[in-house]
Amino acid sequence: MSLSLGFLNAKLFFCLCVTFLKHHFTFSASNPTGLTLRAVLDDSSGSPLYLIENLTIAERTERLIKVTNARANYLSLVSNCDARIHPDNIPMPISREGLFYVVEFAIGSQHHKMNASATYARLPCDHPLCKGPGDRYTCFDGFCVYNVHYTGGASTRGTASMETFHFSIYQSEIESFKNVIFGCSDDSSDIFFKNTDISGIFGLSMSPDSMMMQFSSFIHSRFSYCLVPFADAIPRPLVLRFGEDIPQLPPDVRTTSFVQSPTNHFYYLELWGISVAGHRLPFSQSTFQYRANGKGGCFIDSGALFTQIDAGTVGINAYAAVMQVFASYYESKSLRRTTSRGFELCYERPPNYDDFASLTFHFNGADYTVAGEYVNLISPDIFCVAIIKGTYATMLGAWQQQNKRLIYDVGMGALQFADENCVNDIS
């Protein structure tokens, strides 16, 4: 991976926290302070989605559970890391098990090496991201640099840089952003997207150097998406909207505030409780709080396919308690347990059975209710409760975000959501 090799049509996988669902993007007409990216599913060789339509639903499920667990392991390791980017601070293996969305755009004023671009500059050591509280880089020879080594042998190092990013908005119209800060690598080894068209990470977290924060004045610190249902366990394309391109909110929109984490920039939410099929479990408001050891809390992440509920909550195993209510619910329907497909609870499905238990996350100020059809992974003869045991936190995954309009409003400091038929979300 080397952004210094050329500035023609850089492709970066983007992230909410670092999101792992791979698609290719085209662009469509936008408002003056808006931006819309359309995604098409990538199933190229090397992607976990490669030939996924040729797999059985059971095989697809196993693959997507593996992706979810890999994502959770990654986030667990990153959440315990020092925020600064210096050698050996990310003890994680780099693998190609994840799923990615990919955004394509041009960088710089010339389609050549960085030194030929009139708009390229290196970040000086007196920049806030390189000096003082919250610094992200280290100073070397007058400029900000990074040198990251990962467990497993992968590494990347380079210079924190500034350039102009050019997005093709509509036909020949170009939207340019000047002085965008990014890491320009001149030495990378064994990175998982090496020898691919992907050049780096397009971050949408609340980190000060993410694209979300750097473009905040243009997009009003807001972005949104609506996940089309994953029929037959196949992730679908989506439309990612920014700023004024976000549709008008419906009257029943719900709002809950983000909770700042002391160790990372994920989108944490204040979870007060959980209900299954309308039955609220006896959790205290402190059950899902962020813990002093860096574990706990609840955050939303579209890079994990399936929701994880923390099994390490203090005083009670929240995951076990939730799954017990699901088990009691389906036992009351006289359903027969069957072999697991990687989930704890799977049942034989009688003909035309659709009495699936709903799931509600009781956030501070807003209830997030998932219809039963999106809580479970359903096939004609079997269904499974699509929830996985969490080992360090509770994570609201993409499966339980289907047919929801989700708006990340960093300016407001809140997540907004409402039910929506996402198949109609076209530009």
Residue 190 has pLDDT above 60, yes or no: no
CA 402 to chain centre: 14
Cβ atoms of 135 and 84 within 8 Å: the answer is yes
Rounded to 5 degrees, what angle do the CA atoms 347, 348, 351 make? Answer: 135
Q: Taking the domains of the chain in order of start, what are their residue ranges?
A: 247-424
* pLDDT value of residue 15: 42
The span from the CA of 81 to the CA of 69, in Å, is 19
Residue type, 391: T
Residue 43 has pLDDT above 50, yes or no: no
Contacts of 387 (CB under 8 A, 6+ apart): 306, 307, 308, 309, 319, 322, 323, 326, 343, 344, 359, 375
Q: Could you tell me the pLDDT band of residue 167, with boundaries at 50, 70 and 90?
A: confident
Global pTM reads 0.78
* pLDDT value of residue 351: 95
Task: Classify domain 247-424 by CATH architecture.
Answer: Beta Barrel (2.40)
Element (H, E) at 148: strand 143-149
Other C-beta atoms closer than 10 Å to the C-beta of 336 total: 10
The span from the CA of 173 to the CA of 31, in Å, is 12
Residue 265 has pLDDT above 50, yes or no: yes
Residue 368 has pLDDT above 90, yes or no: yes
Between 173-177, 196-200, 287-291, 346-350, the lowest mean confidence (pLDDT) is in 196-200
State mean pLDDT over 259-285. 91
Average per-residue pLDDT in the chain?
A: 76
